[in-house]
Amino acid sequence: MKLSYLLALAFLAVLCMVRHSSGASVHVTEKPEIQKAVAEHRSTETELKPEEASKDDNDDEDEDLNNKLLETEDGELEEDEDYDEEEGDDDYDYDLEEADTRANKQRNRRIRRLRKIRRNRLIRRRRNRNRKLRKQRKQRRRRNRNRKIRKQRRRRNRNRKIRKQRRRRNRNRKIRKQRKLRKQRKQRKLRKQRKQRKNRKNRKPRRFRRRRIARRKHSG
């Protein structure tokens, strides 16, 4: 009914466009064919034929029967337990299901994206932490190595200094000892010379010297 009315309106619009394009001066509704078509459409819009009404009722009953009965695998017909006679299945909103499915897909996509971002963030943090720890270990090893090198250098320098001091002390001790020995020899020599001079000065003449008589041991 509504479809035929819409078709008539579309037909009138096309005729108006043709009239305006062709430049005709006669009004469209003045033509008898158009007036007749409009009158027929209005009469069919207000009243329905009894055959069409009965046909629509039969279609509704068939649809209800199809919704109420489901065919099983064995070919037997059984009544659907989930089917509601008062409401039927017409209240199910397929657009809502599609919207829910789309929302779930978007939600799952968002969750996957957030998980990927979180995983990448964790990987990046772990990588940065490992890099930082490697750097710290490297710095610690370098500091320990440098500390060990400085310690060895200080020990070597200290030992070198100690050896140098020991050599100097030993050399000085040797020099002092030699000087002391030289001085002692010189003093002995001078003492001996003084004694000789004194003996030569206090020496008696030869005739006044006492003769030393060697003692002879008796053989018996």
The 10s digit of each residue's pLDDT in 99-146 is 778 888 888 999 999 999 999 999 999 999 999 999 999 999 999 999
Q: What does the block give as tokens for 82?
A: 């989930």
For 64-75, the pLDDT digits (tens) are: 655 555 444 444
Q: Where are the alpha helices (DSSP H) in the chain?
A: 2-22, 32-46, 50-68, 94-201
| Residues 139-155, mean pLDDT to the nearest whole number | 95
Distance of CA 25 to the CA centre of its chain: 81
Distance between CA atoms of residues 166 and 70, nearest Å: 117
Burial class (CB in 10 A: 0-12, 13-18, 19+), 106: exposed
pLDDT score, position 136: 95
Residues forming beta bridges with residue 79, ordered by sequence position: 69
Is residue 66 a contact partner of residue 88, using CB atoms and an 8 Å limit? no
